Amino acid sequence: AIIVSDGGVEGGKGYFGVCLAVGRVVIARVRGVARGDPRTMCSFQAEAYGFLAGICLLANLTLMLKIEQEKHTIHTDSASLLSRLLGAMRYSVSVGCWLKTDSDIIMQIAEEAKKVPQLSRHYVKGHQDDKKKARELTLPEIYNIDADKSATKMRHEMNAPASQVIPFPASPIGVYI
């Protein structure tokens, strides 16, 4: 399976979109809100919520369909998210890694990723439909455009920021001011 997530922020409202496909067949589209303080909501949080939603979707599908041994890829256009995940998923993680903002969602992504052992993470450059012809796009680029459309639809559906913070189970402590 190929999963591509995308997220964004506008006016303190964080939102994301996810596309799940097998080859050229899209089997699921998901969109949702990124929770957090609208004064500090950033694109990183929205991207991370989308990435987490994609991994959770895939983890549940692989469990239900009993396809744990299949190879899966997840793509994001957030290089900073991939970099933080790489640091968090090492065998030995420095304490400083967990003192950064949004460490709670990084911990949750790392925990959920363990449920999909054949999952590889990749960067996909966003908005390639602005630069390439449709027939030149790779599947991850096509699905990034799809995820972006889902995220944009969520942005238009939101009336207000989703400011209630819900703690992530993988994070042993959280400080919200």
Question: Does the structure show a pLDDT above 80 at 70?
Answer: no
- Segment 98-116, tens digit of pLDDT: 667 788 888 899 889 888 8
Q: Does the pTM exceed 0.85? A: yes
- Would you mind telling me the total number of residues written for the chain in this entry? 177
If phi > 0 it is left, if psi is from -120 to 50 it is alpha, else beta; for residue 74 that is beta
In angstroms, the CA 112 to CA 117 distance is 10
- Segment 148-165, tens digit of pLDDT: 999 999 999 988 888 777
Q: Would strands 72-76 and 2-10 be described as parallel, antiparallel, or unpaired?
A: parallel
What pLDDT, on the 0 to 100 scale, is given for residue 9?
95
In angstroms, the Cα distances linking 109 to 11, 48, 149 are: 25, 8, 23
Question: Does the structure show a pLDDT above 70 at 92?
Answer: no
In angstroms, the CA 68 to CA 168 distance is 24
- Segment 11-65, tens digit of pLDDT: 999 999 999 998 899 999 999 999 988 888 999 999 999 999 999 999 888 888 7
Q: Name the band, by pLDDT with cuts 50, 70 and 90, for residue 177.
A: low
